[in-house]
A and B are shown apart, each in its own frame.
Chain A
């Protein structure tokens, strides 16, 4: 099967996953019952009155990424720039996720005007864990060694390959791909850092249920990061194999490689659905409550970006939705990482 057909197959699968996502998000506002709209306890008759419009608007916003999709896909598929396909997927995944987060926030803010006033009062007691939460507390050393090994093997193999006949090979071409993968690994580690640091305040009532739901969600996202890291490590090991064989064998191997990943993606998709259902059941056991806002976040974070050195959080819940705190070290690392991508990409492109 030619690669373009594989890419098309991947893209169709991606659409399937996105449509499944829409089905999952469609009933989300009502999961806790008709007296709730997401995490807002609404007045009786909410869904027959103004709530109906809020719900409709939330559902309409789900389709924004699909609309954005059309011109991007046309500019990639029609001229045949299939090498940008992976970037398209990454960008779309980010847009879908951000769109959902902001859409839920907008809908909840609109629904709060029609909430039961007592339910909107913040609880008096807020609990927090005294268990230190560091990246190493969520790291399996054996797994880390297993993930590092493919990189070491790959680099040794490429060094041997390059120095066997340096005059025939382009340095950037040989080492560019693993360097790119290593940078991707670093990015995933940064994401893991953010997930570990994600704040976990819980109300005193149902503290155990809230804590369990948050910890399990954290572990799930960390596992997803590790799965992606494993995929990147496997891809790094595959690169010297591809370089070392003849072009005909290379093409054959690439087809097998893509077919394997297609199968893994399908299995992973099913597993993710099962896991998400388990997490949802856990989350529904913990009734949402409003926690006290000691920092007056709505006052200090008015725009999507803010600089608040005294606030320890990466993201503040401001007056207009979420606000990224640029004074946070993780935000600064994130910005440096993105700048590094541009530098790396430019440097690798210069070799072509």
Chain B
């Protein structure tokens, strides 16, 4: 299972790593209990500072997507265990929708795009 980092992407590297892992979890490619590589391995493979990957892992841990156990590494947490309220989850969606409306996209097209993205993200979970 490969994760890709793009230097043309405006997001910082830690964000790209965290988002990439989130996508894999959402798509069911990384299942509950799946072990993630140690911070040192990922940082060495990418050739980045250790803190970059540690920050990405911390973000995933904060969101309840992974659990970090000392000595045995990080594993994907149960999706039902993530305790995030609906408002918090809706916030980025609202921002994205606002940008689409401001860009002049008609409602029907926005709806189509959202459904297609949802299918893409949740492909592996079906």
A interface with B by C-beta (< 8 Å): 122, 124-134, 197, 199-202, 204, 207, 211, 291-295, 297, 310-313
Contact = CB atoms under 8 A, between A and B. Distances in A.
A132 B5 contact: no
Interface string B1-26: 11111111000010000000100100
A130 B43 CA distance: 12
Given A124-B7, A124-B8, A131 B47 contact: no
Contact of A295 (B40, B45, B48): B48
B46 interface: yes
A134 B71 CA distance: 12
B2 A202 contact: yes
16 contacts: A122-B7, A126-B4, A127-B3, A127-B5, A128-B3, A129-B2, A129-B3, A129-B37, A130-B24, A130-B30, A133-B37, A197-B44, A199-B45, A294-B47, A310-B49, A312-B43
Chain B interface, >50% SS class: mixed
B109 to A, nearest CB: 28
Tell me which of A130, A204, A292, A311 has the highest count of chain B C-beta atoms within 10 A of its own C-beta.
Answer: A130
A132 B48 contact: no
B4 A127 contact: yes
Contact of A132 (B8, B35, B51): B35
B68 interface: no
Nearest to A211: B2
Chain A interface, >50% SS class: loop
Interface residues of B, number: 29
Nearest to B21: A130
Interface string B57-99: 0000000000000000100000000000000000000000000
B121 interface: no
Nearest to B46: A128
Contacts of B48: 294-295, 312
Nearest to A202: B2
A128 B42 contact: yes
Contact of A131 (B24, B37, B46): B37
Given A132-B38, A313-B44, A295 B21 contact: no
Contact of B1 (A125, A129, A134, A291): A129
B4 A204 contact: yes
Given A130-B37, A132-B37, 5 more contacts: A126-B6, A130-B3, A197-B40, A199-B44, A294-B49
A141 B46 CA distance: 30
B33 to A, nearest CB: 13
